[in-house]
Amino acid sequence: MTDLSALRPQRAPLAAHDRPLPTRILAGMLTPGGAVFVLVAVLLISNISANPNFGEPEFLIRFVGRVAPLAIVALGQYFVIVAGEFDLSMAAVISLQVVLASNLIGDDTGRILPVMVLMLVLGAAVGVVNGLATTVLQVPSFIVTLGTMLALNGVVDQMTGGSTRENPADEFRQIGRSGIEDFPVVGLLPYSVIILAVLCVAAAWLMRRPFGRSLIATGDNPATASYAGTSLVWLKTRAFVLSSLSATVAGILLVGYAGASYKIGIGYEFQAITAVVLGGVLLGGGRGWVLSAVAGAFALELLVTLLNSLEVIETELRATVQGVIVIAAVALAGRAWKVGRRPSRRRRDPTDPPELGDQGTTHQPGTGTTTGEFDA
C-alpha cells in the first residue's frame, strides 16, 4: 500500500526555532521588546553607582512598590495599544475610583469589600463603553477615550467641588502602603509588589492564550483577523475592559501612597503610553511584548530617578523627558520591528516540496517575535 504521507507537502522548520535556546534569547534581546530589559539593567547599575543605597534590598523593594501602580497601568495600556487602539481615559478612571473610595468608604471598614467590588464593576463598565463605541460605532479610540476622560473628569469635579477629599479608612489604605512584615532579606514585602507580580504572570499567560494571539493579529491586520473568524467587537472590548480594570487596581494602590486627592491620576495615561512605547511596543499594534511594557515603566522611573540624582533635570521637566522618550522610542521601535519582519533571503533547493500558497518565494520569519515569548 502506498504511503501517502510521503506525498504531502513538508513545511520547512521555522529558522527561529532551530537555533539553541541561548541564541534565541540573544536574538530576543536584540529586538525592541528585549532591549528594554538591557536598558533596565544599565539604568539600575547607573542608579546604584550614583547612589549606593539604591542597591540595598530594602530600598529596591520600596522602589518596585512605588513603581507598581504605573507598571499595572502600563499592563492595561499594552492590551489596547497592541490591538491598534489607545486609551486616554485611564487617568480619569483612577481619579474617579479614588474619589469613590473616599466618599463611599469613609471610616466604615465594613464597606471596604463592597466598595471595591463596585469599583471593579464600574471600571469594567467604562471599558465596555470605550470598546463598544470604538468597534460598533466606529469612532476612533483616541476620540472615544478622550471623550470618556472629559466626562469622568466632569463627574469628579462635581463630586469633589475641586477640593481634596478625606482619606478612606486606614485599613483600605494599607493595601497600597503596607505589606508582609518580617519578610526575609527585604524586611517588608509590599502588597503592591505581590499584586504586580500576580498580574504580570496572568498577563503573560493571557498573551499565550488564543485571546492574546488574536489581539496581536488584530493589531497587525484587522481585516485579515476578521476574515479568520475573530470577533473584533468582543476582542477589542475585552482589551478596553482590561485597561480600565488595571486603572482601577492602580487607583486602589495609589490611595495608600498619596491619599484621596482628586488630582492623583493626572498624567498617568501619558506615562503609561510612554512606558509601553519605551518597552518596544509598536504604536499601531501588532508587535510588542506584554512584560516589556512593565519593564518600560521601570526603565522610565529609573531614568527619571537617575537624572534627578545627578541633578541633570528639574522635576518640572519630567514631562519634557517623557516627550523626547516617546518620539525616540517610536522611531526606533518602528524601524527595528520593520527589520525584524523582513523575510530572510535563504536560498531554497529547487527540489524542495512547495509550501501551501507558495508562488516561488519562501518567506521566513525575521529575528523578532510578535508576542515576546521565548519559545522553548
Could you report the per-residue pLDDT of 10-22, keeping only the tens digit for each?
544 444 455 676 6
Q: Determine the pLDDT at residue 103.
A: 86
Given pLDDT bands bounded at 50, 70 and 90, which one contains residue 239? very high
Could you report the per-residue pLDDT of 104-149, keeping only the tens digit for each?
888 888 899 999 999 999 999 999 999 999 999 999 999 999 999 9
Q: Determine the pLDDT at residue 19.
A: 66
SS3 320: helix
Q: Determine the pLDDT at residue 362.
A: 39
Q: Determine the pLDDT at residue 244.
A: 96
Q: How far apart are CA 195 and CA 47, in angstroms?
A: 25
Q: How far apart are CA 269 and CA 265, in angstroms?
A: 8
Contact (Cβ atoms closer than 8 angstroms) between residue 77 and residue 293: yes
- The region that residue 360 occupies, defined by phi over 0 for left and psi between -120 and 50 for alpha, beta otherwise, is left
Q: How far apart are CA 351 and CA 158, in angstroms?
A: 74
Q: Determine the pLDDT at residue 369.
A: 43
Q: How far apart are CA 143 and CA 231, in angstroms?
A: 22
> What does the block give as the cell for 336?
527595528
Q: Determine the pLDDT at residue 25.
A: 65
- Which of 117-121, 127-131, 199-203, 265-269 is least confident? 265-269
> What does the block give as the cell for 18?
532551530
Q: Of 265, 264, 259, 328, whose CA–CA distance to 299 is shortest?
A: 328
Q: Determine the pLDDT at residue 355.
A: 45
Q: Determine the pLDDT at residue 263.
A: 79
Q: Residue ranges of the domains in the chain?
A: 22-337
Given pLDDT bands bounded at 50, 70 and 90, which one contains residue 30? low
Q: How far apart are CA 83 and CA 81, in angstroms?
A: 5
pLDDT beyond 80 at 216: yes
Over the chain, what is the mean pLDDT?
A: 81
Taking the CA atoms of 81, 84, 88 and 89 in sequence, report the sign of the dihedral they define. Answer: negative
| H-type alpha helices, the chain | 15-18, 21-29, 32-50, 57-82, 90-105, 112-135, 141-160, 170-177, 191-208, 210-220, 222-227, 232-258, 268-278, 290-309, 318-341
Q: Which fold has domain 22-337?
A: ABC transporter involved in vitamin B12 uptake, BtuC (1.10.3470)
Q: How far apart are CA 206 and CA 141, in angstroms?
A: 23
Q: Determine the pLDDT at residue 24.
A: 66
SS3 329: helix
The answer to pTM > 0.85 is: no
